[in-house]
Amino acid sequence: MNYIETEIPGVWIIEPKVFNDARGYFMEAFKQSEFEQHIGKVNFIQDNESCSSKGVLRGLHYQLAPYSQSKLVRVITGRVLDVAVDLRAGSPTFGKYVSVELSAENKRQFFIPQGFAHGFHVLSDEAIFTYKVDNPYMPSHEKGLRFDDPAIGVDWGITDINAVNLSEKDTKAPLFSEAEYNFTFK
């Protein structure tokens, strides 16, 4: 696998080696020893999967410490624009974001460490999105940010705001300046 650190240290794009032939393809989606060699030890405890239709935007979500989650995400059907926002106080990239297109075709994965908000926007008719996490879902610690907060300025590539499909929770998410978070840069 090819490990590419993004402009925000600790956030990685991972490109698997894909072996194609007349029968189809084979790839290693996760290899713990290789992952730890490049990124470090992360104890993934759960795999999740979602299916969303075109225009769905999920995020920007995070959980407060001690239930903050590192995520290793990928798309197995379709295409999404995936986004991570740095919420670690004291970080030189605090409040900045990084994005990457993930698709069934490019087979890229995106590693987002604890202390980041995460979201994705579905670009294809449908997307099946899977992710590993290192902490359980804890509703009492769940938080979010407005996807369209001008202070963060995520370029979601949205041309028609009326075509964006948000959950009720995401429509009521606070702005970055009003959000609660408890992460520090190490």
Tell me: the pLDDT tens digits for 128-144?
A: 999 999 999 999 999 99
pLDDT for the residue 184: 86
**With contact defined as beta carbons under 8 Å apart, do 64 and 180 qualify?**
yes
Q: Looking at residue 185, what is its pLDDT?
A: 86
User: Which residues participate in catalysis according to the annotation?
Assistant: 61, 131
Reference 54, options 149, 160, 169, 173; nearest CA is 160
Domain 2-184 has CATH 1.10.940.10: no
Distance, in Å, from the CA atom of 115 to the CA atom of 32, rounded to the nearest integer, reads: 22
Low-confidence ranges of the chain (pLDDT < 70): none
Determine the pLDDT at residue 186: 77
**70 close to 111: Cβ distance less than 8 angstroms:** yes
Give the Cα separation of 24 and 107 in Å (integer). 14
Q: Tell me the pTM.
A: 0.94
Smallest CA-to-CA distance from 93 within 67, 110, 117, 69 is with: 117
Q: Distance between CA atoms of 98 and 111, rounded to whole angstroms?
A: 11
CA distance 24 to 5: 29
